């Protein structure tokens, strides 16, 4: 990609950032649930995705959190949310810069909104969002969002984006030295139509431990 200039003013920002996004109790509950999955599908974290339809009852604390983030993102006309748990060391990132899209579909559909919730601060690991859209030759601007606990970043679903490594660069080969602290995020993409082949949590076989000990929140009268 090469180096890109940072966006200058708040009015030009490519990313909407919300600090202190959710109640601490909900964040802690979801983080405990994630810890229960251990190393399951660790290398496939960014490719183990689930679909939560609009109006669906959450199956565990992470989906409870997805619904809370939905209220903050305020996507229009969306039929549901695709979510996954991002787990990676910033010295060994498994993904490059990319467009979010319906990877199994016949057409190149993109979510209406993409978003990332950060559970913790790490060295590097910034979310980097560019102004490049599909079909454009190159990006001209970039917004970088530093990981911070309970920070939520929202951006247009057709923008090229990625994660910067521990040195603040576009990821390449694994970096030498200790791995550092694990970067843990919850990625939520809001779609007008369900992306092809993405299962609901009950339909998939991964992360069964998320449900352990979870109680459905009481409905408000």
- What pairing do the DSSP bridges indicate for beta strands 127-130 and 113-118? unpaired
Query: Cβ(93)–Cβ(136) under 8 Å?
Result: no
**What are the sequence ranges of the domains in the chain?**
10-211
Collect all residues with Cβ–Cβ distance below 8 Å to 59 and sequence separation of at least 6: 201, 202, 210, 211
Q: What pLDDT, on a 0 to 100 scale, did the predictor assign at position 119?
A: 98
Q: What pLDDT, on a 0 to 100 scale, did the predictor assign at position 56?
A: 94
Collect all residues with Cβ–Cβ distance below 8 Å to 115 and sequence separation of at least 6: 69, 73, 152, 153, 154, 155, 187, 188, 189, 190
pLDDT beneath 50, residues of the chain:
1-11
**How would you class 221 by CB atoms within 10 Å of its CB: exposed for 0-12, middle for 13-18, buried for 19 or more?**
exposed
Q: What pLDDT, on a 0 to 100 scale, did the predictor assign at position 220?
A: 58
Q: Tokens 């001209």, residue?
A: 140
Structure tokens at 208: 């069964």
Query: Cβ(8)–Cβ(43) under 8 Å?
Result: no
pTM over 0.85: yes
Q: What pLDDT, on a 0 to 100 scale, did the predictor assign at position 1?
A: 43
The tens digit of pLDDT for each residue in 38-60 reads 999 999 999 999 999 999 999 99
Q: 159 in helix, strand or coil?
A: coil
CATH for the stretch 10-211: 2.60.120
Short-list 139, 141, 135, 153, CA closest to 189? 153
Q: What pLDDT, on a 0 to 100 scale, did the predictor assign at position 219?
A: 66
Structure tokens at 146: 């530093």
């Amino acid at each position: 990609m090469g180096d890109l200039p940072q966006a200058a003013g708040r009015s030009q920002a490519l990313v909407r950032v919300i600090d202190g996004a959710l109640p601490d109790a909900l964040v802690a509950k979801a983080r405990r649930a994630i810890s229960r999955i251990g190393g399951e599908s660790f290398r496939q974290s960014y490719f183990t995705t689930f679909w939560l339809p609009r109006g669906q009852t959450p199956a565990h604390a992470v989906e409870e959190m997805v619904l809370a983030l939905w209220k903050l993102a305020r996507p229009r006309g969306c039929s549901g949310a695709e979510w996954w748990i991002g787990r990676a060391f910033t010295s060994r990132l498994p993904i490059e810069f990319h467009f979010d899209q319906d990877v199994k579909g016949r057409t190149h559909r993109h979510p209406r909104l993409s978003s990332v919730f950060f559970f913790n601060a790490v060295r590097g690991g910034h979310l980097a969002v560019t102004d490049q859209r599909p079909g454009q030759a190159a990006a001209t601007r970039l917004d970088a969002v530093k990981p911070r606990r309970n920070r939520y970043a929202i951006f247009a679903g057709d923008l090229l984006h990625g994660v910067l490594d521990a040195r603040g660069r576009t990821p390449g080969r694994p970096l030498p030295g200790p791995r550092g602290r694990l970067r843990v995020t919850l990625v939520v993409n809001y779609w007008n139509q369900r992306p092809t082949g993405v299962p609901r949590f009950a339909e998939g076989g991964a992360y069964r431990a998320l449900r352990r000990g979870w109680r459905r929140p009481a409905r408000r009268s």
